[in-house]
């Protein structure tokens, strides 16, 4: 709704009246706020319960509950899941240590999204947001009664503190990205906080960035002396529905739902946060975890192993009807899962080398022999979405691409988008692709020596190390390594523990690493952290270390887009360029969730397209749980 802010005038007058009774410092602060409020009267503003970059919000201000939840879902019971490896910290933001699963469960943001809408954010900790047409600032009015887990109230000062804490101690790539959008954050009163934006920042990134600000307790941090960039043996105090109940290092973590959770009756939370406890059991690897599930050590499993899904579900608990095996629809964009090639390494600078590496991964054979035909190949950074380009560039894409024609990789303007290579499914080593790869490497100066290994003019081998942390990937990576070695590439698999993986990942100490590189439906400034030149040397999100002027130019077009008609073709055009640069070896995806769970969990009839929601809006049927326990289904 639009408003000339009569309430702003009233607030300003009220502050002026009480200011006579305040100390000088308080008087000065309130005079500044009153001056701002009076000045704002001249601007027409929007006051709303949510924000959407394009189009109208699906849910009105007076909505009762989200469409995809069961508003009468019972509360109670436990869901138990698994996690791999070890943990030594409850700080999800530090580069040091390995954070426990769920360390951020207690943390909430000013605004939150939904699982059935793209690009929408609704007030959570805030009650309303207010902003002018030019989005030069936004004011959040915090809800009354929002409390941290110790019962203390959340104030606007806590919001300011959290922003400043992340800008001082957060990841460098995060600080860089946010500082280009948010100029300042100030508390106008106890429940009102104002974000002022950098004038030349992209208009439609501003409110989303401000709304994603989390809220941590200033008093708690000052009392504990903990830092955002150090490990912590306790979770940071937040406002969320769950708190840490107990843990055994490297064995399990249990989170308990707060009985006094401030937001349990909010319309956006109705039918959600239904479990009394969320238990996480730790296992050394996925095979051990699967055995634990079969024995009832935990109760819900998202199956990521095609081999297990195809051949492993014949155990007694399933045969007795205790366990449900299901494929549920997944409408999300594919994750962009891939082997990412580190362009920071000089030997990978030549695109012919990267193309050759991609030719030797035989997805078709892997899918038939290892994945039991369950997957589809990823070709695009927007796979399984309406943004995926087909054929030569459309007129709308050309309007974006032609102004930067001299910066584009060959073929982008006049060809179909680059597709992942096709290999023979009946044998792991495809000789035709091997010949193509060998020719490319010869042309790039990597020739085969007497020992069968390829070397450059300096006598160095073409070393390609696959940094992996999951033993489950060995059966996939090893055939790939063998294929590369057959054409003279010095390829090796290096599997490390989770702590080493994190250290090397953050230090960019890898040749290839598994990552997810999907662009998203309505990307914005986050693209600069994923693919932009300016942040490539510091951003952990830019795993390939990509620096390319055409990519930078398209990111800027996307950031500045003010309509869907401008945004969508720019995203498709960026996808074409990224694919043409061949810094990834795309892997696979499927459009269903493969899940197995003990038959006591239930979910709404109509699942939303963009989330499985098993920890969000599923619930326990108490009678079924009691029957399973009586039958001895659980350990």
Instruction: Give SS3 for 472.
Output: helix
Q: What is the pLDDT of residue 128?
A: 98
**Which parts of the chain have pLDDT scores under 70?**
1-42
Contact 51/114 with Cβ under 8 angstroms?
no
List, in order, residues 6 or more apart from 178 with CB less than 8 Å away.
Answer: 166, 167, 209
Which CATH number fits the domain 78-93+240-331+591-631, given the four candidates 3.30.1460.30, 1.10.20.140, 3.40.190.10, 3.90.480.20?
A: 3.40.190.10
Task: Quickly count: other Cβ atoms within 10 Å of residue 376's Cβ.
Answer: 15
- The strand pair at 78-84 and 277-283 is best described as parallel
Q: What is the pLDDT of residue 26?
A: 43
Contact 269/126 with Cβ under 8 angstroms?
no
Sheet holding 137-142, edge to edge: 2-3, 45-48, 126-132, 137-142, 192-197, 182-189
Q: What is the pLDDT of residue 463?
A: 97
396-432 core/surface letters (b: 16 or more CB in 10 A; e: else): ebbebbeebeebbbeebbeeebbebbebebeebbbee
Q: Is the pTM of this model over 0.75?
A: yes
**CA 631/CA 153 separation, integer angstroms:** 46
DSSP state of 310: I
Overall size of the chain counted in residues: 635
Question: Pick from 363, 416, 355: which is nearest to 584 by CA?
Answer: 355
Q: Which two tokens stand for residue 611?
A: 């989330």
What Cα–Cα distance (Å) separates residue 39 from each residue in 4, 8, 34, 196, 486? 11, 9, 9, 15, 72
Residue with tokens 């939840």: 69
Q: What is the pLDDT of residue 285?
A: 87
Strand partners, 182: 197
**CA 287/CA 433 separation, integer angstroms:** 33
Q: Does 3.90.1170.50 match the CATH number of domain 46-69+107-224? A: no
Contact 433/372 with Cβ under 8 angstroms?
no
Q: Which two tokens stand for residue 217?
A: 């307790």
158-179 core/surface letters (b: 16 or more CB in 10 A; e: else): bbbbbbebbeeebbebbebbbe
Instruction: Give SS3 for 632.
Output: coil
List, in order, residues 6 or more apart from 123 with CB less than 8 Å away.
Answer: 49, 50, 110, 111, 129, 140, 143
Q: What is the pLDDT of residue 111?
A: 98
**CA 108/CA 111 separation, integer angstroms:** 8
Residue with tokens 């007058």: 13
Q: Over 48-95, what HEC string results?
A: ECEEECCCCCCCCCCCCCCCCCCCCCCCCCEEEEEEECCCCECCCCCC
Contact 140/110 with Cβ under 8 angstroms?
yes
Burial class (CB in 10 A: 0-12, 13-18, 19+), 588: buried
Strand partners, 84: 283
Question: Pick from 91, 81, 95, 94: which is nearest to 253 by CA?
Answer: 81
List, in order, residues 6 or more apart from 605 with CB less than 8 Å away.
Answer: none
Which CATH number fits the domain 337-586, given the four candidates 3.30.1280.10, 2.60.40.10, 3.10.105.10, 3.20.20.70?
A: 3.10.105.10
Torsions phi, psi for 337 (to 5 deg)? -65, 135
**CA 446/CA 357 separation, integer angstroms:** 13
Residue with tokens 């943990």: 87
Q: Over 533-575, what HEC string results?
A: CCCCCCCCCCCCCCCCHHHHHHHHHHHHCCCHHHHHHHHHHHH
User: Which secondary structure element, helix H or strand E, spans residue 630, and what is its range?
Assistant: helix 622-631
Report the sign of the C-alpha dihedral through residues 272, 273, 278, 284, in that order.
Answer: positive
Q: What is the pLDDT of residue 42?
A: 55
**CA 541/CA 527 separation, integer angstroms:** 9
Burial class (CB in 10 A: 0-12, 13-18, 19+), 373: exposed
**CA 294/CA 313 separation, integer angstroms:** 9
**CA 181/CA 198 separation, integer angstroms:** 5
Contact 216/155 with Cβ under 8 angstroms?
no
Question: What digits encode the pLDDT tens for the residues 520-569?
Answer: 999 988 899 999 999 899 888 999 999 999 999 999 999 989 899 999 99
Instruction: Give SS3 for 389.
Output: coil
Sheet holding 323-329, edge to edge: 300-302, 592-598, 323-329
């Amino acid at each position: 709704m639009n408003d000339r802010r009569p309430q702003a005038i009233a607030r300003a007058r009220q502050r002026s009246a009480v200011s006579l009774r305040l100390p000088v410092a308080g008087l000065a602060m309130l005079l500044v706020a009153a001056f701002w409020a009076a000045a704002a009267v001249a601007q027409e503003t929007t006051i709303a319960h949510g924000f959407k970059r394009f189009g109208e919000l699906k849910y009105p201000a007076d909505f009762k509950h989200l469409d995809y939840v069961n508003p009468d879902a019972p509360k109670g019971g436990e869901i138990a899941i698994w996690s791999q490896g070890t943990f030594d910290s409850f700080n999800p933001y530090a580069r040091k240590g390995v954070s426990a699963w769920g360390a951020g469960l207690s943390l909430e943001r000013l605004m939150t999204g939904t699982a059935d809408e793209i690009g929408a954010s609704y007030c959570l900790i805030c009650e309303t947001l207010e902003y002018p047409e030019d989005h030069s600032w936004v004011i959040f009015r915090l809800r009354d009664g929002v409390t941290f887990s110790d019962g203390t109230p959340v104030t606007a000062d806590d919001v300011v503190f959290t922003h400043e804490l992340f800008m001082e101690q957060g990841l460098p790539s995060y600080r860089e990205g946010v500082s280009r959008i948010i100029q300042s954050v100030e508390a106008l009163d106890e429940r009102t906080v104002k974000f002022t934006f950098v004038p030349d920042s992209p208009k439609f990134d501003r409110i989303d960035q401000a709304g994603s600000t989390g809220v941590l307790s200033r008093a708690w941090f000052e009392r504990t002396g903990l830092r955002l960039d150090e490990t912590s043996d306790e979770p940071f105090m937040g406002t969320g529905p769950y708190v840490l109940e107990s843990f055994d290092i490297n064995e399990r973590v249990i989170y308990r739902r707060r009985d006094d959770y401030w937001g349990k009756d909010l319309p956006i939370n109705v039918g959600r946060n239904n479990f009394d406890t969320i238990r996480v059991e730790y296992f050394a690897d996925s095979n051990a975890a699967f055995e634990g599930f079969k024995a009832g050590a935990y109760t819900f499993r998202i199956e990521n192993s095609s081999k297990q899904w195809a051949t492993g579900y014949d155990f007694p608990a399933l045969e007795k009807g205790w366990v449900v095996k299901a494929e549920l629809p997944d409408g999300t964009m594919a994750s962009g899962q891939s082997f990412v090639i580190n362009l920071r390494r000089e030997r990978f600078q030549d695109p012919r080398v990267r193309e050759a590496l991609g030719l030797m991964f035989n997805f078709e054979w892997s899918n038939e022999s290892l994945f039991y035909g369950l997957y589809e190949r990823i070709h695009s950074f927007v796979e399984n979405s309406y943004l995926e380009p087909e054929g030569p560039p459309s007129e709308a894409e050309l309007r974006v691409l032609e102004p930067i024609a001299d910066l584009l990789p060959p073929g982008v303007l006049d060809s179909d988008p680059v597709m992942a290579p096709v290999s023979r499914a009946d044998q792991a080593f495809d000789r035709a692709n091997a010949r193509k790869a060998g020719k490319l490497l010869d042309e790039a100066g990597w020739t085969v020596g007497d020992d069968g290994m390829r070397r450059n003019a300096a006598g160095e081998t073409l070393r390609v190390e696959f940094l992996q942390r999951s033993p489950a990937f060995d059966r996939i990576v090893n055939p790939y390594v063998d294929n590369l070695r057959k054409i003279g590439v010095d390829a090796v698999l290096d599997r490390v523990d989770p702590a080493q993986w994190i250290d090397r990942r953050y230090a960019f100490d890898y040749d290839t690493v598994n990552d997810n590189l999907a662009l998203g439906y309505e990307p914005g400034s986050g693209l600069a952290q994923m693919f932009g030149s300016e942040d490539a040397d510091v951003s952990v999100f830019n795993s390939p270390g990509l620096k390319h002027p055409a990519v930078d130019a398209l990111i800027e077009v996307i950031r500045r887009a003010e309509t869907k008609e401008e945004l969508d073709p720019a995203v498709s055009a960026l996808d074409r360029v990224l694919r043409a640069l061949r810094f990834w070896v795309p892997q696979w995806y499927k459009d269903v969730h493969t899940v197995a769970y003990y038959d006591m969990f239930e979910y709404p009839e109509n699942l939303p397209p963009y989330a499985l929601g098993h920890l969000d809006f599923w619930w326990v049927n108490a009678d079924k749980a009691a029957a399973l326990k009586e039958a001895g289904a659980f350990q």
